[in-house]
């Protein structure tokens, strides 16, 4: 079972006051619609080959669109990463959100929020691959989790 299947099982726990952030692996019409139906607000990454119609431009560089039946806003972000050794990587990302009011939720603020999600994911990845020289601790019984 993959991440999206597990995430589907958690959608009933979402509430309208929750922001939901996800990576491009969750880029699917059905999953977006299911998450939006909970009332939670979504901010996620779209696959680079995903094409969506431009309905209008609110003026902050983003544009309003629709994916399936969900009204969304698209934010194109350019990201530059400089590694400790000085290597620089540039990339473009397309973010999707159900936060369609550009005045209340400026594109730059959404990019910064998504960047925070990415930093957390990177930290978890680094921990998972560096702690205990790569050995993974697992428990086969509930008592072992305490």
Range of the domain at 100: 3-134
In a domain? residue 146: no
Q: Which long-range contacts (CB under 8 A, 24 or more apart) does 97-100 make?
A: 97/41, 97/42, 97/43, 97/44, 97/72, 97/73, 98/36, 98/41, 98/42, 98/70, 98/71, 98/72, 98/73, 99/41, 99/43, 99/73, 100/64, 100/71, 100/72, 100/73
pLDDT tens for the chain, 146 residues long, are: 778 888 889 999 999 989 898 888 888 888 899 999 999 999 999 988 889 999 999 989 999 999 999 999 999 988 787 888 889 988 888 999 999 999 999 999 999 888 777 766 666 666 766 766 666 666 555 555 55
Domain assignment present for residue 143? The answer is no
Task: Provide the pLDDT for residue 114.
Answer: 81
Local structure of residue 91 (DSSP, 8 states)? E
Domain tally for the chain?
1
Structural domain includes residue 144: no
CA–CA dist 64, 72 (Å, integer): 6
What pLDDT does 140 receive? 58
Structural domain contains residue 139: no
User: Does residue 145 lie within any of the structural domains?
Assistant: no
What's residue 83's pLDDT? 83
The predicted pLDDT at position 120 comes to 65
Q: Classify residue 32: in a domain, yes or no.
A: yes
What is the C-alpha separation between 122 and 115, in angstroms, rounded? 10
Helical segments of the chain, H only = 3-8, 29-37, 107-130
In a domain, 98, yes or no: yes
Note the pLDDT of residue 27.
Answer: 81
Residue 137, pLDDT score? 60
Look at residue 139 in the predicted model and tell me its pLDDT.
58
Residue 85 maps to a domain: yes
């Amino acid at each position: 079972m993959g991440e999206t299947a597990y995430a589907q099982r958690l959608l009933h726990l979402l509430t309208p006051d929750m922001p939901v952030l996800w990576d491009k692996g969750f880029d699917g019409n059905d999953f977006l619609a299911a998450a939006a139906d909970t009332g939670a607000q979504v901010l996620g990454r779209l696959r680079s080959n995903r094409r969506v119609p431009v309905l209008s431009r609110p003026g902050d560089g983003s544009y309003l669109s629709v994916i399936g039946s969900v009204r969304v806003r698209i934010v194109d972000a350019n990201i530059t990463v400089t590694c400790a050794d000085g290597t620089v990587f540039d990339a473009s990302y397309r973010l999707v959100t159900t936060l369609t009011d550009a005045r209340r939720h400026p594109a730059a603020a959404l990019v910064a929020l998504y960047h925070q999600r990415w930093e957390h994911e990177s930290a978890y990845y680094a921990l998972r691959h560096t702690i205990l020289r790569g050995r993974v601790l697992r428990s086969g019984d509930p008592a072992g989790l305490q």
